[in-house]
Amino acid sequence: MALIVAIATQGIQMMLVLALAPLLTGFVRKVKARLLMRQGPPLLQPYRDLLRLVRKEVVLADNSSWLFRTAPYLIFAATWVAASLVPTFATGLMFSWSADLIAITALLGSARFFLALAGMDIGTSFGGIGSSREATFATLAEPAMMMMVFSVALIAGSTQLSTFSSFMVSPDVGLRVSLALALVALIIVAIAENARIPVDNPATHLELTMVHEAMVLEYSGRHLAVIELAAHLKLLLYASLIACLFIPWGLAKPGATAGDLAIGGATYFSKLAALGLLLGIFETAIAKMRVFRVAEFLGIALMLGLLATLLLFVSRSL
Amino acid sequence: MDQRLIFDVAHFLAGGLVLISFLLLYQDRMFGLLNMFALHAFVLSLSVSWQAFVQNAPHLYITAAIALVLKAIIIPILLRRVVIRLDIHREIEAVGGIGLTMLFGIGLVALSMVVMLHVTVGADRLAREDLALALSVVLLGFLMMVTRRNAVSQVIGFMSLENGLILAAAGAKGMPLVVEMSVAFSVLVAFLVIGIFLFRIRERFDTVDMHALDRFRGEHL
C-alpha cells in the first residue's frame, strides 16, 4: 500500500510539472502585458498554441536527417525527467534519491546538446548561428551552475535536493553570504538558460540577437509543440529549483499526510506565482543586451559561484 | 548572545565587503565607481561597529564613525567634484579585459584564504575569518591599482585597500585607538596629496591617463 501511495505521489509530481509549465509561461506573459498597460493573451493561451501546433502538419526539409526528427522527443524527455526530479510540493518522493543537482544539470546539458545538434542538422545559417551562440553561452553558464551546485552541496553536505531543502529549514543554516551569492548566480544562469530578456528575446525574430529561436526556426507542427513544451518545462524547472533551494518553507516532509501535501501544493503555487511576477517585472524593467555582452553577464554568475565556494572556506561549517 | 549569530553576521558583512571589492573592479564608469566606493566604506563601518559590539570595545565605534563620515560621505563627494572639474565623468575606462581581471581577483582571494588559514591556525575563529577576508580586500585593492590606468580610479583602489586594513585592524583584539586614528588621518592626508597631484598631472599632460607618464619618460614611444 505504501508503495502504491509513493508511486502515486511521484506520478502526481510528474504530471503536475507537465500541466503547470505552460501556465507559468502564460502567467509571465500576462504580467508583462499588464505592466505595459495591455490586455495580454489569456492565461491559457500557451495550451491552445500547443494544441494547435499538434494538429498541424509537420513540414520537413529535404536534407533533414533522423536526428532532426528524434531530437525534439529527446530534448523533451530529458527536460521532463529533470523537472520532475526537483521537489515541488514534497521532499523525499520515491525518486528523490536520484534528485541530485549534478544529475539534473547533466540532463539539462544533454537536452542542450541535442538542441544544438538539431539546429545545425538542416544546414541553414540561422540554425548554425543559434547553435554556435548557445554553445558559447553554455561554456560559461554550465561552470557557473556547477560552482553554484558545489557551494550549495558544501553547505548542506549533499547534492540531493531533498536533503538540502530540509537543511535549509533547520536552524543550522544561519546567515551566509555564500548562499546569497549562489542565489544570484542561479538567477543569472536561469535567465540565460531560459532565453529571457536581457540575454535573448524569444518573442522576436531578429537575427542579430536571437539564440534559442534561431535553433528551432525550422521546426513545425508537433515537433515544434514538443520543443515549446520543453522550453516551458525548463522555465518551470528553474523556478521550482529556486523555490526548493532558497525558499523551501511549506514543503511536505517524507511520510506526510494529505493535509501536509495540500499545504505543500498551495505554497508551491504561491511561490511560482511570486517568482513569475518578479520575472515579469524584471523583464519589463530591463533592456535587451548585446550578444557580445552576454558573456560578461554570465561571467558575473561564474564569478559569484566561485566566490561563494571560496567564502565557504572561512565560514563556520568548514 | 548566540556565538553562531555573532560569527554569521561578521562573516556576512566581511564577505559583503569582498563582494563589493569585486564590484569596484567590475565598474567601468566614474560615478558608478564612486557610488560603489561609498557603499564599500558603508559596509566597512557596519562591519567595524559589529566588531565593536561583539568585542565590547567602544573605541571601535569611533573607527566606524570615522569610516562612515570620512570615507562614505566626504571623500566620495570630494572625488565627485574632482571628477567633474577634470571633466572625465563620461570617460569609460579602457580596462584590459574585465573578465581576466575578475579571474585574477578570484585567484587572489583564493591565495589570501590559503595563506591566512595556514598562518592563523591557533587563533580565534572570528579573527581568522576577518583576517582572511581583509587580506583579500587589500589584494583586490592592489589589483585595482594595477589594472586601472585612470588616476582617479587608482585613488579609489588605494582607498579600498585601506578599508581592508581597517577591517583587519578591527578584527584583531586590543588594537589601540591611536593607531586607527592615525591611519584614518594619514589616509585623509594622502587623499589631499593625491588630489593635488591629480591636478598637477592634468595641468602638465592634459589627461589623467597614466600612459601619458610612460610616454613622458620615453618608455612607450
Instruction: State the greatest distance between any 2 C-alpha atoms of chain A, in Å, as a whole number.
Output: 61
User: Does B219 fall in a domain?
Assistant: no
**How high is the pLDDT of residue B13?**
92
A76, A229 Cβ separation under 8 angstroms: yes
Q: How confident is the model at residue A292 (pLDDT cuts 50, 70, 90)?
A: confident
How far apart are the C-alpha atoms of B70 and B23, rounded to whole Å?
21
Q: Is residue B67 part of a domain?
A: yes
| pLDDT at A176 exceeding the cut of 90 | no
For chain B, give the longest Cα–Cα distance.
63
* Structure confidence at residue B93 (pLDDT): 64
pLDDT at A205: 72
Q: Which grid cell sits at B56? A: 565590547
SS (H, E, C) A127-168: HHHHHHHHHHHHHHHHHHHHHHHHHHHHHHCCCEHHHHHHHH
In this prediction, residue B134 carries a pLDDT of 92
Q: Identify whether B85 is part of a domain.
A: yes
Give tens-digit pLDDT for A257-266. Answer: 788 888 989 9
Four-CA torsion A151, B116, B144, A289, nearest 10 degrees: 0
Q: How many domains does chain A have?
A: 1
User: Which one of B3, B7, B8, B128 makes the best mutation probe of the A interface by having the most chain A beta carbons within 10 Å?
Assistant: B8
pLDDT at residue A58 tops 90: yes
Instruction: Name residues 119-148 of chain B within 8 A of A (Cβ).
Output: 125, 128-129, 132-133
Region A213-221: mean pLDDT is: 89
- Closest by Cα among A114, A182, A191 to A145: A182
- The total domain count for chain B is 1
Asked if B117 and A178 come within 8 Å (Cβ–Cβ), the reply is: no
A1-23 per-position pLDDT tens digit: 778 888 888 888 899 999 999 99
Question: Which sign, positive or negative, has the C-alpha torsion B70, B71, B76, B78?
Answer: positive
**Three-state helix/strand/coil letters over B22-70:** HHHHHCCCHHHHHHHHHHHHHHHHHHHHHHHHHHCCCHHHHHHHHHHHH
Contact A174 B5 (CB under 8 A): yes
**Residue for cell digits 506573459?**
A29
Question: Domain limits at B95?
Answer: 3-214
| Chain A residues closer than 8 Å to B8 by CB | 174-176, 316
Q: Which residues pair with B12 in a beta bridge?
A: none
* Average confidence (pLDDT) over A130-159: 91
Does A296 contact chain B (CB < 8 Å)?
A: yes
Nearest by CB to A313, which of B26, B105, B117? B117
Q: Of A37-51, A125-139, B19-33, B120-134, which range is least confident? A: B120-134
A110-124 residue pLDDT tens:
999 999 999 999 888
Cell digits of residue B148: 586601472
- Residue B220 in any domain: the answer is no
Structural domain including A121 reads 1-317
Amino acid at A43: L
Return d(Cα A106, Cα A159) in angstroms, integer: 13
* Chain B residues touching residue A310 (CB < 8 angstroms): 106, 109-110, 113
Distances (CA, A) of A313 to A155, B111, B116: 10, 12, 11
Burial label for B207, CB within 10 Å (0-12, 13-18, 19+), is middle
What pLDDT score was predicted for residue A197? 85
Contact A314, B124 (CB under 8 A): no
Lowest mean pLDDT among A33-47, A190-204, A211-225, A297-311: A190-204
Q: Cα(A23)–Cα(A19) distance, rounded to whole angstroms?
A: 8
Q: Which residues of B touch A303 (CB under 8 A)?
A: 22, 102, 105-106
**Each residue's pLDDT tens digit in chain B (221 positions)?**
678 888 888 888 999 999 999 999 888 788 888 999 999 999 999 999 998 898 888 888 888 888 898 888 988 898 888 888 877 766 666 566 777 888 899 999 999 998 988 888 877 888 888 888 999 999 999 999 888 877 788 888 888 888 898 888 887 777 777 777 777 777 777 777 777 777 777 777 777 777 777 777 776 65
State how far the Cα of B114 lies from the Cα of A248, in Å rounded to an integer: 34
One DSSP character per residue, chain A reads -HHHHHHHHHHHHHHHHHHHHHHHHHHHHHHHHHHTT-----TTHHHHHHHHHHHSPP---TT--HHHHHHHHHHHHHHHHHHHHS-SSBSS-GGGGG-BHHHHHHHHHHHHHHHHHHHHHS--HHHHHHHHHHHHHHHHHHHHHHHHHHHHHHHHT--BHHHHHHHHHSTT----HHHHHHHHHHHHHHHHHTT-TTT--TT---TTT-SHHHHTTT--HHHHHHHHHHHHHHHHHHHHHHHHHH--TTPBPTT--HHHHHHHHHHHHHHHHHHHHHHHHHHHHSPPPPHHHHHHHHHHHHHHHHHHHHHHTTSTT-
- Is the CB of A303 inside 8 Å of chain B's CB atoms? yes
| pTM of structure | 0.89
Which residues of B fall within a CB distance of 8 Å from A176? 8, 11-12
B7 C-beta neighbours (distance < 10 Å), count? 18
CB of A249 within 8 Å of any CB in chain B?
A: no
Dump pLDDT digits (tens) for A71-91.
999 999 999 999 999 988 888
**Do the interacting molecules here have an ipTM over 0.90?**
no
The confidence score (pLDDT) of residue A183 equals 94
Q: Which three cell numbers stand for residue A316?
A: 563556520
Considering only CA atoms, which of B94, B6, B46 is closest in space to residue A316? Answer: B6
For residue B95, the model assigns a pLDDT of 62
- Judge whether B96 is closer than 8 Å to chain A, CB to CB: no
Answer with the residue of higher pLDDT: A95 or A306: A306
Res. A317: pLDDT tops 60 = no
What proportion of chain A, given as a percentage, has pLDDT over 70?
98
Average pLDDT over residues A229-248: 94
